């Protein structure tokens, strides 16, 4: 029954697209006059070719714009290597993509503009070029293209398949669901980017057997912050044969960095994270039986830290303060049970809840942070940012960054200080996990008296507190922001600086990744540690990094060691009479795994090799994996391609 509805809706779509074809022609012509379409090749948009088709089998690759087109180029090159006698047709929609991609494609590739999705244009295009397979990129789901190709016996594949939540909701409507189900049934292959995309395609009635995973063809991206007008900007960057796409913003350590130096994206992101935390606690915050002062304390402990995370470096303007204040007052009003109709002044609501304005909290945090910096010596690494603000920052794919001369010297210096001593590192640890790692260190120190543990805190401002807590227990600790040496008596090295994690992975042969040993956390990226050749260990809570773990374990089971849920309860007393009980998981198995790695050089080197090789296979084999799927499920046999 749903198939009949699908064909009925498609017939309506086909009739409507045929009826509006004359108006689309006028629209394309108007775009050409404005310079939005190619002046001499704009008729290609109606399926009218401007070049002769050579004889032989042909594969059609289609991408809508520049990003998708660049991601398709490695697959096209691989196709030509596998089948030198096959013709390749590449189409894109935008002029900007045409101007860049035309110089990046191999000389044998035919490049045309994609036809619009009207019956006549698509029919003319498919009849003239007669491809044996159509390879679509990302989310190019056009009914006339897919159904017409299927009717002619042409295999259709969707690579780097994406399906945003907004698109999923739109396709899930009663009127559009039968149509998308009909279209997806005509595909021979869908290579989804993640489990989320795969589930969404299955919910839209895509046959499960055509959905596969191979990795992201947009393997990496980079952002260029060019603050010097005299420095030329590179439009294309490559890592080997893989083209890395340029981005105008980058998510790094919980913040959003923009190439133009603005903070609008970061402000919006922090507001969204704060609102999410508020919603998670809305059962308490919106309960009228809970006193307002208690709600205010909960808000200050849970929501405010998320909103002002990284605010020490924000160059705030009045519009940013307004955004933050509006978002905060909306949450405080709901907590207090007021709406706009009540016409209650903001000051009155703040007084009842006991919460200071968010801009005051940011100012307080900034003064505390700058006071911490000013206390350091002038030659301290954390103060060197004051000397030279003009810099060119490039963020490439993991493992693609080269260390500077200063970092290389720092590595050599640390290696000399740690020479001859067993070393392991706990990276990106949260406050609740600090006690776990200290406890693990104490267990290991009984077996390895000369042990050095490197603790890299997730939040640098906690480094000083951690060192003081360790010294109160009689342990000898050194703090990196003070440039303290790892002397023979030091057994814990606390790192409270930013941007040095990649360098530290080259100092320690064992890396335990934090954010995964306490329920409520969702792990951190461990691919950088694997790329550096560390033996990688994680806890049971990985969140969306579970897929990365599964991929690397599939290559080599030893690549990442994940400890199981051997849990115990830990009582942490930061202040007198204020005990915090934490449920910690994985400590006992972590101690056992670290003892084995530190005791056996052969076992340690084996895990290091496995991690590095697994990372290399997962990151560098994406094009090969994609092509293997296309070859097996779309092209079927080499004889069919001559």
Positions marked active-site:
68
Q: How far apart are CA 301 and CA 309, in angstroms?
A: 13
The closest alpha carbon to 595, from 561, 571, 553, belongs to: 561
Neighbours of 265 (CB within 10 A): 16
Q: Which residue has the tokens 């923009």?
A: 258
| Helices 358-374 and 318-336: angle between axes, nearest 10 degrees | 120
Residues whose CB is less than 8 angstroms from the CB of residue 207 and which lie 6 or more positions away in sequence, other chains included: 184, 185, 187
Asked if 526 contacts 425 with a C-beta cutoff of 8 angstroms, the reply is no
Long-range contacts of 152-156 (CB under 8 A, 24+ apart): 152/126, 154/126, 155/188, 155/189, 155/633, 155/634, 155/635, 155/636, 156/186, 156/187, 156/188, 156/634
Interatomic CA distance for residues 114 and 97, integer angstroms? 12
- Per DSSP, helices labelled H in 55-136 are 66-82, 95-101, 119-129
In this structure, are strands 567-575 and 578-585 parallel, antiparallel, or unpaired? Answer: antiparallel
| Inter-residue contact 312 to 369 (CB < 8 Å) | yes
Whole-angstrom distance, CA of residue 192 vs CA of residue 158:
8
Please provide the size of the chain in residues: 642
What end-to-end distance do the CA atoms of the chain give, in Å? 41
DSSP state of 114: P
Pair 441, 491: CB distance under 8 Å: yes
Distance CA 81, CA 84 (A): 6
Give the dihedral sign, CA 454/459/461/465. Answer: negative
The 10 Å Cβ neighbour count of residue 72 is 26
Closest CA relative to residue 267, chosen from 192, 182, 326: 326
Residue 390: is it exposed, middle or buried by C-beta count within 10 angstroms (0-12/13-18/19+)? exposed
CB–CB of 90/101 below 8 Å?
yes
């Amino acid at each position: 029954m749903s198939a009949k509805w699908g064909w009925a809706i498609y017939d309506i779509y086909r009739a409507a697209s045929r009826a509006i074809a004359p108006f689309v022609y006028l629209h394309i012509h108007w775009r050409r006059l404005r310079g939005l379409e190619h002046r001499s090749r704009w008729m290609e948009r109606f399926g009218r070719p401007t070049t002769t088709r050579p004889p032989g089998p042909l594969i059609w690759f289609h991408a809508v714009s520049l990003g998708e087109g660049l991601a398709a180029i490695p697959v096209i090159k691989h196709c030509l290597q596998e089948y030198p006698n096959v013709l390749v047709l590449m189409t894109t929609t935008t002029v900007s993509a045409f101007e860049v991609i035309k110089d990046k494609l191999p000389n044998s590739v035919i490049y045309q503009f994609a036809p619009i999705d009207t019956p006549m244009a698509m029919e003319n295009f498919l009849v003239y070029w007669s491809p044996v397979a159509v390879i679509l990129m990302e989310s190019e789901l056009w009914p006339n293209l897919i159904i017409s190709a299927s009717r002619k016996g042409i295999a259709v594949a969707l690579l780097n398949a994406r399906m945003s939540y907004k698109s999923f909701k739109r396709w899930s409507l009663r009127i559009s669901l039968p149509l998308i189900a009909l279209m997806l049934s005509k595909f021979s292959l869908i290579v989804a980017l993640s489990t989320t995309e795969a589930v969404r395609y299955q919910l839209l009635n895509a046959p499960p057997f055509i959905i596969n995973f191979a990795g992201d063809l947009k393997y990496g991206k980079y952002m260029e912050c060019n603050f010097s007008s005299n420095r030329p900007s590179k439009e294309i960057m490559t890592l080997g044969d893989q083209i890395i796409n340029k981005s105008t913003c980058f998510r790094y350590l919980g913040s959003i960095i923009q190439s133009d130096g603005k903070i609008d994206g970061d402000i919006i992101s922090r507001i969204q994270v704060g609102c999410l935390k508020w919603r998670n606690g809305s059962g308490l915050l919106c309960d009228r039986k809970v006193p307002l002062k208690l709600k205010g304390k909960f808000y200050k402990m849970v929501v405010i830290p998320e909103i002002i995370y990284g605010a020490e470096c924000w160059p705030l303007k009045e519009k940013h303060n307004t955004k933050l204040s509006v978002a905060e007052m909306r949450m405080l009003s709901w907590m207090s049970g007021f709406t706009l109709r009540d016409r209650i002044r903001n000051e009155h609501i703040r007084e009842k809840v006991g919460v200071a304005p968010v801009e005051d909290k940011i100012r307080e945090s900034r003064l505390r942070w700058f006071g911490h910096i000013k206390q350091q010596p002038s030659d301290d690494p954390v103060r060197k940012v004051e000397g030279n603000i003009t810099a060119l920052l490039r963020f490439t794919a993991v493992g693609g960054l080269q260390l500077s001369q200063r970092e290389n010297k720092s590595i050599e210096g640390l290696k000399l200080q740690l020479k001859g001593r067993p070393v392991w590192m706990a990276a990106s640890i949260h406050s609740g996990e600090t006690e776990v790692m200290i406890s693990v260190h104490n267990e290991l120190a009984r077996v390895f008296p000369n042990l050095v543990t490197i603790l890299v805190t997730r939040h640098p401002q906690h480094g000083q507190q951690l060192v003081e807590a360790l010294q109160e227990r009689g342990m000898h600790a050194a703090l990196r922001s003070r440039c303290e040496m790892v002397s023979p008596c030091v057994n814990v090295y606390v790192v409270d600086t930013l941007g040095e994690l990649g360098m530290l992975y080259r100092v320690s042969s064992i890396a335990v990744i934090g954010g995964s040993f306490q329920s409520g956390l969702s792990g951190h990226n461990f691919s950088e540690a694997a790329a550096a050749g560390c033996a990688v260990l994680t806890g049971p809570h990985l969140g969306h990094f579970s897929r990365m773990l599964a991929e690397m374990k599939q290559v080599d089971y030893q690549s990442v060691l994940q400890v199981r849920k051997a849990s115990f309860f830990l009582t942490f007393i930061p202040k007198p009479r204020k005990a915090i009980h934490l449920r910690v998981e994985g400590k006992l198995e972590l101690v056992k795994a670290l003892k084995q790695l530190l005791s056996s050089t052969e076992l340690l080197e084996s895990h290091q090799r496995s991690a590095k090789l697994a990372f290399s296979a997962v990151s560098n084999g994406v094009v090969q994996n994609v092509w293997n799927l296309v070859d097996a499920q779309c092209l079927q046999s080499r004889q069919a391609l001559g």
